[in-house]
Structure 1
Amino acid sequence: MLPGSTNPSHAARFMSRSTITITGESPDRIRVEQLLLENATLVFDDCDFSGVDLSRLDLQEAQFRNCVLLETSFYAARLARTQWQRCRAGHADFESADLVDARFASSDLNNISWRRAKLASASFRSCKLTGANFEEVSYLGLSFEDTLLVGADLRRMSFRKMTLVDLDFADADLSGCDFRDAVFEGGGLRDAHIKDTRFDGADLR
């Protein structure tokens, strides 16, 4: 290579990728693996992945719109910067998945295992997270808004100095959580488990 020239493979990594939209399908793992070979941003619209094993796949920046993901496995999948809108994903498995900067909106995510997932800077807005398990997640910058966390396992998580808007923690396990100096705007804590939970300076309104 001549001095000062650009490495083509290096430059290619920074080129904007094309987008492939898949609509109204029920893709299995083989179909998704074939799509990933296209090296494009994948958009799944109105697709049904119920019960499909997508564990350990690299789906970074993919978009899921109006999708059904009941009991779908995303175990240890790479899902950074993904977007999920109006999806139904009850009992799906996101254990050990990389979800950094992922965005979830208006989705039913009940009884999902997020155990040991990377959720730094991820956000949940207008979602149902009833019965969700957040055990041992990494969550720096994680945010919730207008979301049901009824019966969720949030043990030892820190919400310190956060403004919590319309979060329903009813029956949630908040043992060891840190709510110091947090501001609660709406929502509730009815029958939540609060053993060793800290509320010093919190505004419960």
Structure 2
Amino acid sequence: MSRATITLRGESADRARIEALLTDDTLLVLEDCDLTGADLSRLNLQDCVLTRCALADVSFYAANLARTRWQRCRGGHADFESADLVDARFEACDLNNAGWRRAKLASVAFRSCKLTGARFEDVSQLGLSFEDCLLVGADLRRMSFRKAALRGLDFADADLSGCDFRDAVFEEGCSLRDAHIKDTRFDAADLREADLGGLKLSNAKQFAGATISTRQAAELVRALGLNVA
């Protein structure tokens, strides 16, 4: 049975307003709405579409956000802890400093998003993808990017400790400048297009079989305090 669509445009809405519209047979669409600071924790917002919404400091704690679509939303410091976001799509969103702790991010796609300072602790991430995203200073510890094609990802100053980049290909626009790479694996990765400035190479085994350019090799050697003649 098809679901009726309810669209809110240009409204300032709180939890009570959103909750009143949610039924099993309705699809909620929010356009240009202001939800700043709202508590939407544990709500069933599955399949909702949000476009150009203000979501700063919104709590989506343990909410059902599966198959949601987010376009050009601004959600600085939003809290997605323990939320179910399976198959969600984020396009051109500003999610700086958002928290994703223990969120279910299987098959989630982030495209052209700002995720500076975002925290991805202990997320479920099978099929998670990023493209053309700012991840500057983000906490991505122990995430797997194995065999991924990485395009336009800025990991500058990000915490990549324990991450798996084995066999990954860093394409144009990628940066690892000053990233934290304790116990990070880059075995057989192609790093030739990545900015490796400031990396502290403490264990060469992390890069076993990786491909880098002559210029990058010189930078890494200089980082060890050696002179390249």
Q: TM-score, normalised by structure 1?
A: 0.92
Q: Which residue does the alignment assign to 2:77? A: 91
Unaligned runs of 5+ in 1: 1-14
Unaligned runs of 5+ in 2: 193-229
Q: Which residue does the alignment assign to 2:175? A: 188
**Distance in 2, Cα, partners of 1:37 & 1:64:** 17
Q: Which residue does the alignment assign to 2:9? A: 23
**Distance in 2, Cα, partners of 1:69 & 1:124:** 17
**Distance in 2, Cα, partners of 1:195 & 1:145:** 24
Q: CA deviation at 1:39?
A: 2.9
**Distance in 1, Cα, partners of 2:97 & 2:25:** 32
Per-residue CA shift, 1:65-89, capped at 9, x if unaligned? 0000000000000000000000000
| Aligned-residue CA RMSD (Å) | 0.7
Q: How many residues align?
A: 191
**Distance in 2, Cα, partners of 1:94 & 1:38:** 22
Q: TM-score, normalised by structure 2?
A: 0.82
Q: Which residue does the alignment assign to 2:189? A: 202
Q: Which residue does the alignment assign to 1:158? A: 144
Q: CA deviation at 1:37?
A: 3.1
Per-residue CA shift, 1:96-136, capped at 9, x if unaligned? 00000000000100000000000000000000000000000
Q: Which residue does the alignment assign to 1:5? A: none
Q: Which residue does the alignment assign to 1:53? A: 39
Higher strand proportion, which one?
Answer: 1
Change (3 A) 1:38 1:135: closer
Give 1:90's aligned amino acid. Answer: G
Q: Say yes or no: does 1:76 pair with 2:62.
A: yes
**Distance in 2, Cα, partners of 1:59 & 1:45:** 15
Give 1:111's aligned amino acid. Answer: N
**Aligned sequence identity (%):** 74
Q: Secondary structure in 2 aligned to 1:141? A: coil
Q: Secondary structure in 2 aligned to 1:33? A: helix
Q: CA deviation at 1:18?
A: 1.3
Q: How does 1:100-119 map to 2 (within 5 A)?
A: 100-119=86-105
Give 2:176's aligned amino acid. Answer: L
**Distance in 1, Cα, partners of 2:24 & 2:66:** 18
Q: Which residue does the alignment assign to 1:6? A: none
**Distance in 2, Cα, partners of 1:57 & 1:120:** 19
Give 1:152's aligned amino acid. Answer: A
Q: Say yes or no: does 1:33 pair with 2:19.
A: yes
**Distance in 2, Cα, partners of 1:165 & 1:182:** 11
**Distance in 1, Cα, partners of 2:51 & 2:74:** 10
**Distance in 2, Cα, partners of 1:38 & 1:119:** 23
